Structure 1
Amino acid sequence: MTEITRVPLQPIAKGAIGKLWLGVVLAVALGGAVAFETRQKGLEVVTVKAGSGATPGLSDVVEVNYVGYLANGKEFDRGEHAGIPVEGVIPGFSKALQQMQKGGKYHVVIPARLAYGAKGVTNPQTGEVSIPGNADLTFDIELLDYKSAAELMRERAMIQRLQQQMQGAGSAPGGAAGGTVPQ
């Protein structure tokens, strides 16, 4: 039978266990503080009513109903059936839109760094500050629909062609389509 080599254990120095536990407590506290800070600074998208289907991409245009609030509850913006390019808004709003599905309703909290940052927003006509610097923003958003930019361009071109055809028909003698005069 083989014998296992024995290594004698050295005694633990007085106070070493206390220091070890203190290190564990500090590591846990530091980890909790980092997690809390990360949560406080991150974009929050809460699904109020689930939608369905795919999510919009950066090059899409969305049709949304939304209301924007400051941290004190003051409404600063509202839009109904607003056609908005996903890449044409503040970074936090854009990132939130890319997580939504058609028909869904969402509550979104955007930290200042993903909104207007330290500069805020001032109304150029009145000089009134509508969004103060370093303000976190809250939005209630309903995603009604979205389309790609290419699809919208095709639709606009088709509408323009139809309008031109209607204008051409209206200028025919007698105002009838095709230039024929009713008898």
Structure 2
Amino acid sequence: MTEITRVPILPIRKGSLTKLWVGVAAVALAGAGLAWASVPHGVEIVELVAGKGESPKADDVIFARYVGKLPNGTVFDEGKDVQLPIQGVFPAGQPLPLAQMVPGFREGALKMKKGGKYRLEIPAEKAYGATPPPGAPIPPNTDLTFEIELVDFMSQADFESRLGMFQQMMQQAQGGQPAPQPAR
């Protein structure tokens, strides 16, 4: 009886099995590299001018001059110096409570130092993601760039204390009249 389905198997050359496994490993590493490259890596902070001293804490209020831009260069927000009539109560810059900022902005600010200037690249998922604030010129899923000068920072409690002191000074300047309260 003759076997028709029989296929002769040639012997494997010496070293061919090693080459096969090296090839499989190379393909696996290349796939892992592509997967790693496609994953967002978080906030990127570039120091433009070095600051000095400590960095703010997560619950501090920072005072900053900043410009926020979309990827195409369009400015969507710009912080202005707060124009307070009494010197020494608040530093220059826009007060920004870090506890209320988007996660990427807060993450970057925690690495800054007083007097420094920085560029902050925030990926969309650490900015506003798919739901930007209503009426904002920020499209959904947009990366944001900020140029920030960290003028100063203080604790939330110190900020609130100074704000209360400022309000009292304003009441006294208006002839002792208490500030109008909203109608109920």
Question: Structure 2-normalised TM-score?
Answer: 0.73
Displacement of 1:157 after TM fit? 3.1
Q: What SS class does the counterpart of residue 113 from structure 2 fall into?
A: coil
Shift of 1:121: 3.7
Q: Distance in 2 between matches of 1:104 and 1:41?
A: 24
Q: Which runs of 5+ in 1 are unaligned?
A: 1-10, 124-128, 171-183
Deviations 1:69-111 (A, max 9, x none): 1111111111122101001111111111111110111111111
Q: CA RMSD in A?
A: 2.5
The one of 129, 144, 148 equivalent to 2:151 is 144
Choose between structure 1 and 2 for higher RCO, CA contacts under 8 A separated by at least 6 residues: 2
In the TM superposition, what is the alpha-carbon distance from 1:169 to its structure 2 partner? 7.6
Question: Between Structure 1 and Structure 2, how many residues are aligned?
Answer: 154
Higher normalized strand content (fraction of residues)? 1
* Cα distance in 2, alignment partners of residues 169 and 45 from structure 1: 47
Task: Name the counterpart of 1:72.
Answer: 72
* Structure 2 residue aligned with 1:48: 48
More helix as a share of residues: 1
Greater C-alpha Rg: 1
- Are the equivalent residues in 2 in contact too, given 1:49–1:106 (CA < 8 A)? yes
- Three-state SS of the structure 2 residue aligned to 1:131 is coil
- Residue identity opposite 1:112 in structure 2: A
Q: Counterpart of 1:173?
A: none
Aligned pair in 2 of structure 1 residues 43, 12: CA closer, same or farther (>3 Å)? farther
Structure 1 position 50, deviation (Å)? 1.2
1:110 matched residue in structure 2: 122
Residue in structure 2 matched with residue 23 of structure 1 by the alignment = 24
- SS of the aligned residue for 2:79 comes to strand
